[in-house]
Structure 1
Amino acid sequence: MDIDTLAKAPVAEGDLLIGGKWTAAADGRTFPVHDPATGGLVRQVSAAGARDAAAAVDAAQVAAEQWRATPARRRSEVLHAAYTLMRENADALARLITVENGKAYRDAVAEVGYAAEFFSWFAEEAVRIGSGFGDAPAGGYRHVVVKQPVGLSAFVTPWNFPAAMATRKIAPALAAGCPVLLKPAPDTPLTALAVGGLLSAAGLPDGLLGILPTDRAAEVVSVWLSDDRVRKFSFTGSTATGKVLLRQAAENVVNVTMELGGNAPFIVCEDADIDTAVRGAMDAKMRGGGEVCIAANRFYVHESVAAEFTEKFGAAMAAVRIGPGLDDGVALGPMVNPAAVAKIRELVADAVGRGARITAQGSTPKGDGWFHPATVLADVPADAAIMHTEVFGPVAPITTYKDEDEMLARANGTVHGLASYVFSRDLARALRIAERLEAGMVGLNRGLISDPAAPFGGVKQSGLGREGGRDGIEAFLETKYIALDWPAS
């Protein structure tokens, strides 16, 4: 597959990867992919349906047993090869991400590097899957504990990180010995197709990876969750959709991992280094244009430093260059679609209507495209919708606090608990706050926290389970205990 031309023309046979072959949807349907920078059509993509979903399960099941029996070292070698190919094709992949997702090219390059690291990390984890052997305390027999692949795994990934969210799920599953089915987001299917092409080129046997782009997700996913051969399901997306899928998965008691919505608080203490906090805020808020589940969503700034932080942060936000993601120097590209822009505008209008002030705002480029400028809101009241809703855009609502306990009550006063950020020169204070925050991940004096070597996930309604780190491969393994008769000598 030629990544450079993937955005211009479909794969000759079709865009669905089933059984190692590229094919069109069984009923011939397609759906459009648009360039967020212009609103123009990139191209039509094959739209999988129920028959295609069933065919992908059949093909994966045929390949499953051989991959399960493949030595871990060989599985590792395939993933290492995929890592190398992704790094070698980084520029083409980044440009493809920008074309269909809209994010600035520099952010797309960073995503490709992040995505590739999942292949590298789990290539190394594949050969470290452990087992156990020991005496039974009562004597007379031994305990043998082995780890085995959970089985056929189905994934649904979002549009905001079309490469990284795919590799974060695919890599550990393949490392553990599981075949994989992937339904990428309809806004960004082309990157997933490119990842599939790279894995094929890396030597992954046919049938182990099925990729089914579609604009009729419910039809495809329902087939997978109702098939008792599918034993693992992993979803990244909204909490509302995750609840629906959890109910479906419960019917067959499918093993699930859910990475759902966030509402991350960003806390600036009175003793914080303000320049460091501003840099961290720019990282936590503006990576990927703010369309990130762990993006800083609510800013709680101590009243004694609020004026300085708001001024410096506002200056940094207003200076962000906005435009088409492939243009030189652009740091903020368009939002992914018109609905995203409409939601952001609605949240800003609600906050302003309740008394918030726009203290800094960048410009919006003329012409077509789905843009929203970097925006800072001050004096945002607690009842503003933006304080309770994931913004998913380049808007930072700031409110002040005086008392630590009261601030923590507000920070924790949400059904979500994915990420949080704390800035303070006092490490003991920062750790105390971090331990009291109801979140799966906390950044202390830094705004970038994602790392393939660290567990990623949330608490409360932000999800179930962890991805990445050593936890990542465990999600695709089942533990089997064998009681081995071993008479005493």
Structure 2
Amino acid sequence: MNGFKFGPFDENPLVFDKAFVGGKWVDSLCGDTFEVINPANGEVLGSVPDMDEVDTLEAIERAHRAQREWGESTLKERSGLLRKLFGLVATNTDHLTQLVTLEGGKPLSDSRGEIVKANVFHEWYSEEAKRVGGECMLGVQKKDSQLLFLRQPIGIAALITPWNAPLQMISRKAAAALAAGCCVIVKPAEDTPLSALALAHLINLAGFPPGVFNVVTCSRDKMRRVSGVLCDSPLVRKLSFTGSTVAGKWLYERCSQTVKKLSLELGGNAAFIVFESADLEKAVQACTDSKFRNGGQTCICANRILVQDSIYDQFCQKLEEKVKNIKMGPPINSKNSQGPLINKRAVGKVSRHVDDAIARGGVLKIGGKVDRSLGPLYFEPTLITEVPSDALVHREETFGPLAAITRFIFEEEAIQIANSVQAGLASYVFTRNYGQAHRLSKAIEVGMLGINEISITPEQAPFGGIKESGLGREGSVHGIEEYQEIKYLNFNMAAFL
């Protein structure tokens, strides 16, 4: 298996069929379950508890009981436990890779990469946990005055996470929350709950106290009911969500009733802009890697590909050659670099974007349909050129393997197209003109901009968007601040003398 070492799925020691609440493996109180499906072949991988409002309230209560002691734990204790977790995840990388691939349809190499990226946040925040500090100012109003600014854990944090990076999204949020001293309740995506439960097992092995990390699983039918309880509970003081803009707005409104602190990483619609001065070979390779990683099912992948007129034909020809070499097939086979889409809804959206682009004058070069010989969710790597800037792919995030190429002439035109959407998560610029790069760095309305670079998510970087792509930042030294509150103390020291 080209370096991947794991046996049959039913022998994977990290597969669990119960939720994790208060340090125990539990069923839903009503006894309901739902199935976890392998999108590559439609087979049932297993079932997990389909929890509801009552189960969620129990998880909140368990976290509440644990919060005070965990919030008062020493920085060294939190750091040490996160470091143990880092070691356990590293040891179990192959088992976790198998889980992510089978429940999410992600190619093995992408799944392995996700586990590594997830684990760096355990390492990073094991180090940042030791640096949680405050500030002191002397003599501000009077010579004997002393102002202290304390950083304290905000309290219970609810984490609602997506299916496309099921382990990385939990780890990026949870590691920061745990380092800050917050107890956590995770509601994983209904498509990929097994990864969350595997992480819960490793967290338990690492020695985190009962109630500090909890996983509540539920089906799509109960998703709003469970999420609603997390939003409405006054005991939950922080909610972090990664997902669609529509769902994020619903959570935003719901959380207003308890004035929660929010982190929202919502939809993207990344522009990938290639200027005539760019290194063409590197730009084409970067475009291929960004657009087709995990079948285009990432929030920061290239969605609107804008290429300057003078190099347009050259770029499209070279990209076509790259797309032809993408091998699609069962993701468990390490030779395949593209697997299935996650579900039928995803296939339907990509199909609509393809049909719309062609109807508006786009030229289909490669792909454009489902490969039924592989299964109903295998959408071919697709390239469409001459796509106008009013096409649906420019107005919505595709989340699939469609490279739609739009021609532009002037720099200002590219900026206008890039900024014409309400999304503002990430974009990319390829140019060797430094002045141009500097202008674009200020002009493009996003939270993250890669300049001649598509690898923009190291643990040291503050990940997040602007406009309708969300609030807050994850990763970096700023990620832990999302789970803290500042308490200001004003001492008149003369009273103690």
Q: TM-score, normalised by structure 2?
A: 0.95
Structure 2 vs 1, CA of residues 12 and 261 (structure 1 numbering), >3 Å: closer, same or farther? closer
In 1, the alpha carbon distance for the partners of 2:253 and 2:429 equals 35
Structure 1 segment 58-137 matched on structure 2, within 5 A: 58-137=61-140
Greater displacement, 398-407 / 257-266 = 398-407
Structure 2 vs 1, CA of residues 8 and 218 (structure 1 numbering), >3 Å: closer, same or farther? farther
The answer as to 2:31 corresponding to 1:28 is: yes
User: 1:180-216 CA distances to partner (integer Å, 9 max, x unpaired)?
Assistant: 0000000000000001111111111111111011011
The answer as to 2:393 corresponding to 1:386 is: yes
Structure 2 vs 1, CA of residues 13 and 111 (structure 1 numbering), >3 Å: closer, same or farther? closer
User: Percent identity among equivalent residues?
Assistant: 38
* Number of the residue aligned with 2:159: 155
Letter of the aligned partner of 2:231 in structure 1?
Answer: L
Kindly indicate whether the alpha-carbon contact (under 8 Å) linking 1:39 and 1:369 is maintained by their aligned counterparts in 2: no
Structure 2 counterpart of 1:434, from 438, 441, 454 = 441
The 3-state SS of whatever aligns with 1:191 is helix
In 2, the alpha carbon distance for the partners of 1:374 and 1:419 equals 22
Q: CA deviation at 1:163?
A: 0.4
Greater displacement, 33-42 / 260-269 = 33-42
Q: CA deviation at 1:287?
A: 1.6
Q: CA deviation at 1:136?
A: 3.4
User: 1:6-28 CA distances to partner (integer Å, 9 max, x unpaired)?
Assistant: 76799999511111000100000
Q: CA deviation at 1:59?
A: 0.5
Letter of the aligned partner of 1:353 in structure 2?
Answer: A
* Number of the residue aligned with 2:342: 336
The 3-state SS of whatever aligns with 1:163 is helix
In 1, the alpha carbon distance for the partners of 2:40 and 2:16 equals 29
Structure 1 segment 33-432 matched on structure 2, within 5 A: 33-139=36-142, 140-215=144-219, 216-361=222-367, 364=371, 366-432=373-439
Structure 1 counterpart of 2:487, from 461, 477, 480 = 480
Letter of the aligned partner of 1:388 in structure 2?
Answer: R
Kindly indicate whether the alpha-carbon contact (under 8 Å) linking 2:139 and 2:145 is maintained by their aligned counterparts in 1: yes
CA RMSD of aligned residues (A): 1.8
Q: CA deviation at 1:58?
A: 0.6
In 2, the alpha carbon distance for the partners of 1:474 and 1:287 equals 31
Q: CA deviation at 1:117?
A: 0.5
In 2, the alpha carbon distance for the partners of 1:13 and 1:471 equals 33
In 2, the alpha carbon distance for the partners of 1:13 and 1:87 equals 19
The 3-state SS of whatever aligns with 2:456 is coil
Greater displacement, 421-430 / 93-102 = 421-430
Q: TM-score, normalised by structure 1?
A: 0.96
In 1, the alpha carbon distance for the partners of 2:35 and 2:10 equals 12
* Number of the residue aligned with 1:471: 478
User: 1:284-335 CA distances to partner (integer Å, 9 max, x unpaired)?
Assistant: 1122211000010001100001111111111101110000111131100111
Q: CA deviation at 1:447?
A: 1.7
User: 1:127-174 CA distances to partner (integer Å, 9 max, x unpaired)?
Assistant: 111211121322131111110000000010000000000101110000
Structure 2 vs 1, CA of residues 391 and 8 (structure 1 numbering), >3 Å: closer, same or farther? farther
Structure 2 vs 1, CA of residues 205 and 89 (structure 1 numbering), >3 Å: closer, same or farther? same
The 3-state SS of whatever aligns with 2:479 is helix
In 1, the alpha carbon distance for the partners of 2:25 and 2:81 equals 20
Q: Work out the number of aligned pairs and report it.
A: 487
The 3-state SS of whatever aligns with 1:330 is coil
Structure 2 vs 1, CA of residues 269 and 367 (structure 1 numbering), >3 Å: closer, same or farther? closer
Greater displacement, 422-431 / 199-208 = 422-431
Kindly indicate whether the alpha-carbon contact (under 8 Å) linking 1:322 and 1:364 is maintained by their aligned counterparts in 2: no
In 1, the alpha carbon distance for the partners of 2:336 and 2:226 equals 37
The 3-state SS of whatever aligns with 1:304 is helix
Q: For structure 2, which runs of at least 5 residues remain unmatched after alignment?
A: 1-5
Greater displacement, 9-18 / 39-48 = 9-18
* Number of the residue aligned with 2:3: none
In 2, the alpha carbon distance for the partners of 1:230 and 1:377 equals 46
